[in-house]
Structure 1
Amino acid sequence: MTTDNLNNALSFKHLFSNECLSRGESPIKTTMKYFLDPEFHFLGAGMPPLELFAFQNFSFKSLDLKNYSFNEIQDIIINKNDKFEEHVNGNIVEDELDSDILIERALQYGNSRGHPSLLNFLKIHINNTFKPIYKDWDILINNGSTYGLESLLRIFCNPNDTILLEDLCYSSTIEAISAQKINTVPIKMDSNGIIIEDLEYKLKNWETCYGDLKKPKIMYLIPNGHNPKGVTLCDNRKLKIYQILKQYDIILIEDDPYYWLQMPQYKKPSFKDDQFIDENKPETDINTNQDFLNKLSNSFLSIDTDGRVIRLESFSKYFGPGTRLGYVIGSKQILDNIWNYHEVSLQASSGISQLMVNGLLNRWGQLGYLNWFKRLRVVYTQKRNFCLNSLYKHIHQFDINEYVQVEEAPKAGMFFMIYLNISKHPEYNQKLVELGKDKIVEYFENLFFEKFIQSKLLLAKGSWFTVSDPCHNVVNINRCMLRGTYAAVTPEKMNNGLKIFANIVKQEFN
């Protein structure tokens, strides 16, 4: 399908916030296009001279995976021989590519949309993978997903507006929304993501459920490897969700930092005569790039005909959080308003980060970039499997099955969730009488959290991620939640930590 056959995105100006509508372009920034013209005599902006820039050269070294198949990547990692023979080296000056960002551009004030070379690479990547289906989509470089969300809240929301969230949500997202005095309404989730019936019911019966609370302008989702729950929204729900949001004229923010950390289905271990049996095997059916892409879930971009989906992407989980680099995909109309906000806040994302990331991507090429994601798939699959195998092994060995429930194994991301059946704790009935239903979960959550901390184990409290419902805040008083991660922990520490967890649960419940 060519772009000539596609429609432009709808206008969503009627959903913009008062702040957004009152903001225009920064006049001096509109002149930056002339700075890039070598024939221009640019006397109009206060820009330091390039001969006074402190940095004259940037170099890097990374793996070069272009010539490896998925099976070769998997074999090297599984066999504990993570020594890829090929590397890509970049020296931004001495071996400069036409696609490199010049140092004098990277270190200078610049276009807050992002450097053109990086934007061009990412647009090809997006077309190859997410395949947007309207004409005037675009991308904008930013400082990552958290900043992207904060920007969008300012673009669309006034104080006392309403946003729909999953009933568990990343704690920083909750704080960002709360700081802007925006109301939240949670939508229930199960092991396959948000429950469509709950979304439909609340929107259809809004006045009955929420009275005078403003109807929502935005829904925010983490579809893959949900933080904190670890679940992935199944593809067969996405079209129905999109149709509902279209019916009620709601913008969807698709925050998907774990998209390329998708993994095959996990199989629980079995135990025979107390012997542990790992049921997971290496993948054998990824022979081509298309095989790999077919394993991945679909983005809402692939069904968005209106331009009402805004997708947040981040390099943090793929290249390192310190890059502080990400990008937004959406309609040009919406991104233009984010750009205007950038001009008076972010100005532009780090030119040095863009230079380094762009230099690496253009030396890898699209194939190398895709193979990097294949490597992430293998490594994260190993980490997840080891973590959950250890968890189930210790649950079995300490005989605490009736006290612990593990959320369905994550198919993406870096988080897993554990539920403790606090109603079986020997002090539960007494504490319920003393504290009441409103405080009972908090009491046991704090109890276990402090016990874990005393034993040098950190698991995040479930309450940190709980989205309160302004009218119907129903809490399950029989359990408390704990979030764990397997991302940056060595196998030894992971196993020891989960053994500490199981031992404390055993002691407390017995």
Structure 2
Amino acid sequence: MVLAKDLSHLLSEEAKARRPSPLKTCIKYFNDPNIIFLGGGLPLSDYFPWFDISGTSPKPPFANGIGAPLNEQELINFKIPRDKIDVAVDEEFGTISLDKALQYGFSQGHPQLRNFFIEHNKIIHKMDKYEDHEVLATIGNTWNLESALRCLCDKGDYILVEQYAFSSTLAAAEAQGVKTCPIPMDADGIIPEKLEELLAKWDEKKLGKIKFLILVATGSNPKGLSLPEDRRQKVYELACKYDFIIIEDEPYYFLQTGQYYAAEDRPALSDEKVPHDQFVNGLVKSFLSLDTEGRVLRFDSLSKVMGPNTRIGWISGQKNLLAELLKFHEVSIQSPSGFSQSIVAKTLNEWGQEGFLDWLIGVRKEYTIKRDFCIDSLYKHIPKKLLDDKTVVVNPPIAGMFFTIDINPEAHSEFKSKYEGNAKLFEQHLFEKVIKEGVLMVPGAWFEAKDYTVTDKGGIEEPKKEIFFRGTYAAVGLDKLDQGIERFAKVLESEFS
């Protein structure tokens, strides 16, 4: 039996000092019929003011699309009772009764939910490289990072990040005194050769131990880039060689829309049912599927495929590392909401693994349609001259829900005079003007990772000269999307005319 590598030396001092919550260790006796449980402050479920909750969801295979109107035959109606004794025998493994869902315990997540995610991992990530892997249910990827920072990093430690990274990731690290070292990127994401060069020159005596690399490898936020499989393999090999953890933050993993084609060259999207094996085999390999040593922690979330405020996510990885995260959860969030767990578990188990794949296939199709419409709209509204002379460059994503537009500030007639050759001043001016025009696009400066290695070595970090704006095609309907892009293009036309 192959077990994950012992990575306990990468834990934070806080994690090393934390012991399991004594009260949580005795919760296992709560369901023992031979034990009169007087050990914890668990209220009687008789006092819960809900007798049942009911819900309605679409029924797989969602043949008309996931947003289509449905008749009664295309719906699943379910009821979740308060008491476990009212759960039918054939529903026991898919239903979390409210007397369990709303009670303390199961900090790792209820079995009906966790078991679904464990089986999902086997289908998607072929979890067979080492035996002692596990799943921990959480309240989403933002919290996943917070707990990873607390359990793996001490103040002053370094983590590796993408050159342009999710702003909340950077803010969370900064708040805990964790330093970031950005990895250069190109159109395919982080560059393994640049990462290797950085690691080979790393001065551990001066800068300390690198604890982990965090990246959104598929449909990155903000750039919308996706790391090819060969780069993932190289990055993983570097993690093994230089002994750090990879945190694979993947809320957009199933929104793999593929290459963008102009309308006249675009293959028609088929209404025929996509075979599940074709869908799964077409997904880019995850870091989790490459992991032989247990040094990948994968963050998954339902936020982009079912609903952000379900507040349901999960971390997959080696059992020993997840045990450290669980100890932190037991004295902080305890567990995801019982209501959310019961409703999501019931829905997913009613659908089954195949139905969930049908849903993910449907979500991907909707985002592919919106991505294509968005890029078409950009090319339609941005003046051709600005595109032809590379003043403006549109970057069609192949996954996720974000697109970026690169802008050459030096092409502006007043860049050197009015803006003193400062790209960031010009970017801020554009942002303010775009807002006045009635559309919100986010400036790239919000996502720039600070390189603390420069200042730690006594240098001054050079300001970045390139600028870009990030938009999303997820938040509005097609009409509003087109209108917003037209307004943004109007600002570009007025500034560069």
Asked if 1:121 is matched to 2:108, the reply is no
Q: Which position in structure 2 is the counterpart of 1:261?
A: 255
Q: Contact 1:398 / 1:503 at 8 angstroms: preserved in 2?
A: no
Asked if 1:22 is matched to 2:41, the reply is no
SS in 1 for 2:449: coil
Q: Which position in structure 2 is the counterpart of 1:347?
A: 334
In structure 2, relative to structure 1, the CA distance for the partners of 1:347 and 1:287 (3 Å cut) is closer
Q: Distance in 2 between matches of 1:359 and 1:77?
A: 21
Q: Distance in 1 between matches of 2:65 and 2:55?
A: 23
Q: Distance in 1 between matches of 2:435 and 2:230?
A: 41
1:482 alignment partner, one of 455, 464, 469: 469
In structure 2, relative to structure 1, the CA distance for the partners of 1:206 and 1:260 (3 Å cut) is same
Deviations 1:282-306 (A, max 9, x none): 1589742111111111111111111
> Counterparts in 2 of 1:182-261, with a 5 A limit?
182-207=178-203, 212-261=206-255
Q: Distance in 2 between matches of 1:241 and 1:151?
A: 23
Identical amino acids, percent of aligned pairs: 41
> Counterparts in 2 of 1:61-80, with a 5 A limit?
61-66=56-61, 73=63, 76-77=64-65
SS in 1 for 2:206: coil
Deviations 1:290-343 (A, max 9, x none): 111111111111111110000001111111111111011011100111111011
1:293 alignment partner, one of 280, 302, 321: 280
The letter for the 2-side match of 1:180 is: Q
Q: Contact 1:278 / 1:389 at 8 angstroms: preserved in 2?
A: no
| Deviation, structure 1 residue 102 | 1.3
Which consecutive residues of structure 2, in runs of 5 or more, have no partner in the other structure?
455-460
> Counterparts in 2 of 1:384-463, with a 5 A limit?
384-396=371-383, 401-402=388-389, 403-407=391-395, 409-431=396-418, 434=420, 440-463=422-445
Q: Which position in structure 2 is the counterpart of 1:505?
A: 492
1:368 alignment partner, one of 355, 364, 373: 355
Structure 1 length normalisation: TM-score? 0.90
Q: Which position in structure 2 is the counterpart of 1:89?
A: 77
Q: Which position in structure 1 is the counterpart of 2:458?
A: none
2:30 alignment partner, one of 16, 27, 35: 35
| Deviation, structure 1 residue 475 | 4.2
| Deviation, structure 1 residue 234 | 0.6
Q: Contact 2:213 / 2:244 at 8 angstroms: preserved in 1?
A: yes
| Deviation, structure 1 residue 401 | 4.1
SS in 1 for 2:417: helix
SS in 1 for 2:434: helix
In structure 2, relative to structure 1, the CA distance for the partners of 1:19 and 1:475 (3 Å cut) is same
Q: Distance in 1 between matches of 2:265 and 2:484?
A: 20
Q: Contact 1:229 / 1:416 at 8 angstroms: preserved in 2?
A: yes
SS in 1 for 2:16: helix
Q: Which position in structure 2 is the counterpart of 1:491?
A: 478
Q: Contact 2:437 / 2:488 at 8 angstroms: preserved in 1?
A: no
Q: Contact 1:398 / 1:502 at 8 angstroms: preserved in 2?
A: no
The letter for the 2-side match of 1:90 is: F
1:136 alignment partner, one of 127, 132, 136: 132
The letter for the 2-side match of 1:282 is: L
SS in 2 for 1:429: coil
Q: Contact 1:252 / 1:308 at 8 angstroms: preserved in 2?
A: yes
The letter for the 1-side match of 2:281 is: N
Q: Distance in 2 between matches of 1:25 and 1:16?
A: 15
| Deviation, structure 1 residue 196 | 0.7
In structure 2, relative to structure 1, the CA distance for the partners of 1:26 and 1:322 (3 Å cut) is same
In structure 2, relative to structure 1, the CA distance for the partners of 1:455 and 1:335 (3 Å cut) is same
SS in 1 for 2:254: helix
Q: Distance in 2 between matches of 1:278 and 1:447?
A: 37
Q: Contact 2:274 / 2:361 at 8 angstroms: preserved in 1?
A: no
| Deviation, structure 1 residue 471 | 4.2
The letter for the 2-side match of 1:466 is: E
Q: Which position in structure 1 is the counterpart of 2:457?
A: none
Which consecutive residues of structure 1, in runs of 5 or more, have no partner in the other structure?
1-5, 270-276
The letter for the 1-side match of 2:247 is: I
| Deviation, structure 1 residue 266 | 1.0
SS in 2 for 1:374: helix
Q: Distance in 1 between matches of 2:304 and 2:191?
A: 27
